[in-house]
Amino acid sequence: MSIVSLVIQEKGYKEIYPFASWKLFTVPSGGEASVDRYKLYGIKDGDTIRILNKTVESYQANDEESIVNIYGGKIEQNEDRKINLTKLLIFAKDTNPEFNEYMLYKETYNPKEIGEKKVNINKKLITKL
């Protein structure tokens, strides 16, 4: 609908799909000055590697993002910390069993910088799993 609405607007007609010109679908967090996301890092052979969200047998990539963010927020806020640490560790081992250890970081960045040469990401270690 967004594309159809855009074509109709370019021909001089009124927009029929009200969200076509909004950043709602292309950049959902575009109006925010900073965004916090929790990310898992894995330790393997002495190297610390940022774990990318990917679709695996049990989870979609978006599901992984949501699960890490939900548990990460609860862990940082000390909400049933021990239980949530255990659940996140089980999840990490299930989706990325190749790592020996895992670390949870909170990353803060400005979404307006995405697509530029450099995105400044501030990282804060929350815990080692």
Query: How do the pLDDT tens digits run along the chain, 129 residues long?
Result: 556 665 666 776 655 555 544 444 554 555 567 788 999 999 998 899 999 887 777 777 778 888 999 999 999 999 999 999 999 999 999 888 999 999 999 999 887 777 778 888 899 999 998
Centre a 10 Å sphere on the Cβ of residue 94 and count the other Cβ atoms it contains. 12
Regarding whether 38 and 7 lie in a shared domain, the answer is: no
- Tokens 């548990």 correspond to 71
User: Comparing C-alpha atoms, which of 116, 102, 120, 92 is closest to residue 35?
Assistant: 120
Regarding whether 20 and 43 lie in a shared domain, the answer is: no
Regarding whether 98 and 56 lie in a shared domain, the answer is: yes
Q: How many domains does the chain have?
A: 2
The side-by-side arrangement of strands in the sheet containing 47-50 is 47-50, 35-44, 101-109, 121-128
Regarding whether 117 and 70 lie in a shared domain, the answer is: yes
Q: What is the DSSP letter of 84?
A: H
**b/e burial code for range 55-87 (CB count within 10 A of at least 16 → b):** eeeebeeeebeebbeebbebbbeeeeeeebbeb
0.75 surpassed by pTM: no
Regarding whether 70 and 94 lie in a shared domain, the answer is: yes
Regarding whether 40 and 9 lie in a shared domain, the answer is: no
Tell me the residue range of the domain where 98 lies: 32-128
Report the pLDDT value the prediction gives residue 32, as an integer from 0 to 100: 63
